[in-house]
Structure 1
């Protein structure tokens, strides 16, 4: 009878430990934040410049990108000496980016900077 109770206690204890570990998912010790930057700068002289830039912190857990901490994201999208068609900054937890679409020498071009830099 004593062995049965001991076995039951060990079984239930092991089950509880397994459930706690499963519920915790990724341990906080395996996660960290780091700054990520990206820029796209084009310059053809002192009076012609296009600049799209973005930076912010990303959360990495177990060596894999998890999300962007959007409250840390700062971007810029500026140009001078070219015809700007559009510009903008998007702050999202999956991707954040800055862009400037412009015409130069009759061509429509986009300067694009993103974090994490998957698409640029």
Structure 2
């Protein structure tokens, strides 16, 4: 009973924060790399890809559960290799060297993409 009450109270306190969160407001800080900035890097990559050829792509939202440390070097991007087993196309946003932390030295985040309607 007490656990249930604590959980309900904690949930009601967190709800306004969760309702106001969006990728648009999830910018990078001193300690973490924000999903907004990761998505923007994927958008730059896709803009270059769209300028190259016949296919046209739209960038979707990265997984909102992703939390990665701030990158210490410029981000890199490329198509996610099919060998990683993703069922749909995505762009891999890569950090080759994160700021010193206890969790990870480097990271990569797949950002899903889809063909624009009307594309071949």
- TM norm. shorter chain > 0.5: no
Quick check: which one's strand share is greater?
1
After TM superposition, the score normalised by the length of structure 2 is 0.28
Larger radius of gyration: 1
After TM superposition, the score normalised by the length of structure 1 is 0.28
Quick check: which one's helix share is greater?
2
